[in-house]
Amino acid sequence: MDIKPETPWDGTPDVSARIITAISRIASVMRSGVWEFATSENLNPAQVDILQLLHARPKGVRLSWVAAQLSISAASASDSVASLVSKGLVRKARAEDDGRATALFLTAAGTAVAVRIGSAVSFADDAAAALPPALQVQMLTGLLKLIAELQTSERFPALRACPSCRHFEANKYPGAATPHHCALVNAPLPIAFIRIDCAEHEEADLATQQRNWAQFA
Ligand code: SF4
């Protein structure tokens, strides 16, 4: 005998599962935009990701850092970088913070490609921008809290986000509509201005980062 569900919604996955499904679907659509762009530029998606990472970091980055950010092996990162160097899009030079180490930098041609990547996935930005501003802030808050949860595992790569920055003062004004503060600019930091990838970010010590993420969440 067939057992009938008690309500028509019994088979609906949990809200948490559907949040992750929604994020995955959005990521897939963006990924396909990156694929199209990569194909048109004779690159692979990992190479496109590397150009994007370098574009936001003019002071250069280490190969090991690139591998960790993209969650790929050092060997894969090295192959992709070698190809980008041979295409004249990336150059290797001495790291600014350690003359014995090598860092990766974009060339002028690499910078031009990185700028074009932004337009290739601007459809997603346009869709987010079309939402009401208050909803955008709510969504950003929710996503930051999800990142805070993920940061408790070792699976999530480091971000140049406010809660991991030494200038971030979480809950400096408890109970205020804008409780957080950025000491670099010495101003309260509304959620709408919390950065996920800030060029001025300076990493806080681990204990401070954990405390900040916990307070933020
Ligand atoms: S410097 Fe940037 S990352 Fe650091 S707290 Fe200020 S806005 Fe956030």
CATH topology of domain 15-122: Arc Repressor Mutant, subunit A (1.10.10)
Average pLDDT over residues 142-155: 84
> From residue 160, how far is each of 43, 78, 200 by CA, in Å?
26, 23, 9
Ligand 1: centre distance to CA 2 (Å):
58
Ligand 1: centre distance to CA 110 (Å):
27
d(C-alpha 47, C-alpha 79), whole Å: 9
3-state secondary structure of 109: helix
d(C-alpha 38, C-alpha 9), whole Å: 41
Quick one: pLDDT at residue 217? 62
Quick one: pLDDT at residue 11? 85
Residue 4 has pLDDT above 90, yes or no: no
Residue minimizing CA distance to atom 5 of ligand 1: 168
pLDDT band at 1 (very low <50, low <70, confident <90, very high): low
Q: Which atom of ligand 1 is closest in space to residue 165's alpha carbon? A: 4
Average pLDDT over residues 113-132: 92
Quick one: pLDDT at residue 78? 95
So where are the chain's domains? 15-122, 131-216
| pLDDT tens digits for range 9-62 | 888 999 999 999 999 999 999 989 989 999 999 999 899 999 999 998 988 999
Ligand 1: centre distance to CA 76 (Å):
32
Ligand 1: centre distance to CA 148 (Å):
16
Residue minimizing CA distance to atom 8 of ligand 1: 162
Strand partners, 181: 169, 188
Do the Cβ atoms of 51 and 114 come closer than 8 Å?
Answer: yes
CB under 8 A, 24+ apart: contacts of 109-113: 110/51, 110/54, 110/55, 110/84, 111/55, 113/41, 113/43, 113/51, 113/89
Structure tokens, 113: 């490609």
Residue 145 has pLDDT above 80, yes or no: yes
pLDDT band at 157 (very low <50, low <70, confident <90, very high): confident
d(C-alpha 74, C-alpha 175), whole Å: 45
Ligand 1 residue neighbourhood (C-beta within 6 Å): 162, 165, 167-168, 182, 184, 195, 198, 200-201
- Residue given tokens 């692979």 in the structure block: 44
Average pLDDT over residues 93-113: 91
Other C-beta atoms closer than 10 Å to the C-beta of 86 total 9
Quick one: pLDDT at residue 158? 80
CB under 8 A, 24+ apart: contacts of 73-78: 76/46, 77/46, 77/50
Task: Give the residue, out of 184, 185, 202, with the most ligand 1 atoms within 8 A of its beta carbon, to mutate for a pocket test.
Answer: 184
Quick one: pLDDT at residue 207? 92
